[in-house]
Chain A
Amino acid sequence: MSHRSISPEAGPLPAGRGWSRVRRTPALLAGSFMMLVLILLAVFIPWISPYDPIAQDLSAFLRPPSADHWLGTDQLGRDLFTRLVYAARTDLGIMVLAEIIPFCLGITIGMLAGYYGGWVDTVVSLVTDTFIAFPFYLIIIIVAFASGAGAQGIYITFMLVGWIVFARVSRGLAASLKRQEWIASAQTLGLPGWRILLRHLLPNILPQAVVVLMTDMVGILVAIVTLGYLGIGIAPPTPDWGTMIADGQSFMTTAWWLSAMPGLAVVYTGLALSLIGDGLADLWRRKS
């Protein structure tokens, strides 16, 4: 703990920094732990499981959960647990990749629009409002059909519309922060505009944007799974939670776990991301 200053106007005790503050945010801890387990599994699955996610073994189809097959096997005799974890690789990979560029782009656009205002702001607001009004799933299905099955449809769609949510959030934040005294102060102190934007405005916007990112990732994940379920997402035999849910449907009465487990995996990931988002929001709120 840092010592208190000896000045007669001693400040409040410094708030806990870094780890000690994270430790007091159970939501963040729980979410991170859940995510970590998933990521570790996805990374080390080739060493954890002796099974191949794609090779079929028709002699062992639709086995119930057992010591050999933790979650049983599917209609083509493939180990369900192994496929679930490989599907996490596919789906989480796409989720992260599809989000990186829209995240950076959206923050940049929103920050510039909010800070400088004027016609840039008008145009950005117009575009974001228009896209918000357009049904997201309609766009993604159109693009998925146009670009053929696979991940590229998701990437293209998110490049087109994913930035909007971040642009909206950072535009609003930048516009309200702009009116705060310390931005005016930085301007009168003669700091260059790019420096105010990058070193002062951005750090104040980023926390909120990251919270939104976590929520948005859940949305993307659900979109990926939905496309897979509809048969216009990841093409089989690549494991993907959406196609797995769809495939398992025909065996719902005899092997319910085939659809339920991928569904639970989606819920698990969504929960982990939401917890991280909530925890981060909590952390920033307490800091300021």
Chain B
Amino acid sequence: MSERETAAAAGKNGAKIGTEPRRVEEANAVHNSNSGTPGNAEARPAGRPEIPTATAAAQVRTTAAADPILVVDRLTLSVASGQNLVQDVSFSLGRGDSLGIVGESGSGKSLTLRAVLGLLPSGVKRTGGEVRHTVRSAMVFQDPRGALDPLCPVVKQVAEVVRYRQGKNRREARAEALKLLGLLGLPDSLKREDRYPNQLSGGQCQRIVIALALACRPDILLCDEPTTALDVTVQRQIIDLIARLQRELGFALVFVTHNLAIAAEVCTRIAVMRQGRLVEEGPSVDVLVRPRDPYTQMLVEAVLPLPEFVSESEDRTRDSGEGGTR
């Protein structure tokens, strides 16, 4: 996995340069703002001048993965009235990478994710930049019950995706679907009788939604606040599940959440968005321990008091490192 490096722009953040993380591994880290993304010969707009914008949320230059499977390049999304909902957002993702996108409601994080899938709501258009990816992607939705056909038994829904995405016949598809459900820790009772989404709990539904996504054998799993609609205890289970699956199956992960702690736990990198712009991007621990942008600092302070956080973060990293279902 490629390491990444962040570079702060000038302006307010300049003062913090001394403390900012600079884990530079130039060998495989490439600025994507001017030099282009490796492995991509497509025409790009001419490089922007390196003049930092005057806003406090200055341009954040993110680094490209060495061999990116997903490149979001200066993506701008607007509504018809011309207002930009997402502006100049860039990031890239290598095979097996995990990126958490954090931000408040309306910061454009979900929209960015949806743009990757081409699932923009009507009225929102991409007006600049581009999204490039060559691999299969699948999405885990925020409201698990809403993401399932209410009148179709859940096993059937999973089997259907297996059947069409993996080219299997009915019986193989059902067997494969049941295997997937087993992998996701769903009870055996699902195998014996048809269950509909409204007969399952939120957590079980979210597992089904994850199973649907995995049935596509994705190289990138896009998670749109997958735990927001769930109880706290179930949140924990789903987060552990996604982290475990990522380790076992090796897909790349983009995890959108408003919870900085969750993002840090699941992802190796974090991008912070605010008002449609990327304000900070870097390795999770660095972003949390030494946030450069004032907004990120505010987020960190709001979520976790720093002193307690340090020890807690170490605990959590260790836990997940051990593969920990608690």
Contacts and interface: CB of A to CB of B under 8 A. Distances in A.
A2 interface: yes
Interface stretch (A106-114, A142-150, A184-192): A184-192
A254 interface: no
A183 B164 CA distance: 16
Interface stretch (A126-134, A162-170, A196-204): A196-204
Contact of A12 (B119, B139, B141, B199): B199
Interface size class of B (residues with CB under 8 A): 35 or more
Given A12-B199, A181-B141, A181-B147, A5 B165 contact: no
B201 A11 contact: yes
Interface residues of A, number: 31
A93 interface: no
Contact of B199 (A8, A15, A186): A15
Interface stretch (B44-52, B207-215, B246-254, B294-302): B207-215
A208 to B, nearest CB: 12
A138 interface: no
B117 interface: yes
Interface string B115-127: 0010100000000
Interface string A196-240: 000110011000000000000000000000000000000000000
B161 A190 contact: yes
A288 B198 contact: yes
B212 A199 contact: no
Interface string B161-203: 1001100000000000000000001110110010100111111
Contacts of B151: 200, 203-204, 288
Contacts of B199: 11-12, 14-15
Interface string A245-288: 00000000000000000000000000000000000000000011
B164 A204 contact: no
B186 A7 contact: yes
Interface in A1-59: 2-3, 5-12, 14-15
Given A180-B146, A199-B160, A200-B149, A189 B200 contact: no
Interface in B21-62: none
Contacts of B149: 182, 186, 200, 203-204
A61 to B, nearest CB: 57
Contacts of B193: 2
A10 B186 CA distance: 10
A12 B138 contact: no
Interface string B136-149: 00110101001111
A14 B154 CA distance: 14
B195 A189 contact: no
A195 B164 contact: yes
B216 interface: yes
B152 A191 contact: no
A14 B233 CA distance: 22
Interface string B219-261: 0000000000001011001000000000000000000000000
Contacts of B119: 184, 187-188
A200 B231 CA distance: 28
B204 A9 contact: yes
B212 A189 contact: yes
Contact of B141 (A2, A6, A185, A199): A185
B11 interface: no
Given A2-B189, A5-B189, A189 B146 contact: no
Nearest to A207: B151
Contacts of B150: 182, 204, 288
Contacts of A182: 146-150
A185 B185 CA distance: 22
Given A181-B147, A199-B152, A189 B213 contact: yes
Q: Which residue of A12, A180, A187, A188 has the most chain B CB atoms within 10 A of its CB atom? A: A188
Contacts of A11: 199-201, 204
A101 B213 CA distance: 39
A9 B237 contact: yes
Q: Which residue of A5, A6, A195, A287 has the most chain B CB atoms within 10 A of its CB atom? A: A5
B165 A190 contact: yes
Given A14-B195, A204-B149, A9 B234 contact: yes
Contacts of B161: 189-191
Contacts of A181: 141, 143, 146-147
A173 B42 CA distance: 42
B139 A185 contact: yes
Contacts of B202: 9
B198 A15 contact: yes
Nearest to A117: B122
B212 to A, nearest CB: 6
CB-based closest 6 A-B pairs: A9-B203, A11-B201, A5-B187, A181-B146, A14-B199, A9-B201
Given A7-B185, A190-B165, 18 more contacts: A3-B189, A5-B187, A7-B203, A8-B237, A9-B234, A181-B141, A181-B143, A181-B147, A182-B150, A185-B139, A185-B148, A186-B149, A188-B139, A189-B138, A189-B215, A190-B161, A200-B149, A204-B151
Interface of A: 2-3, 5-12, 14-15, 180-182, 184-192, 195, 199-200, 203-204, 287-288
Interface of B: 117, 119, 138-139, 141, 143, 146-152, 160-161, 164-165, 185-187, 189-190, 193, 195, 198-204, 209, 212-213, 215-216, 231, 233-234, 237
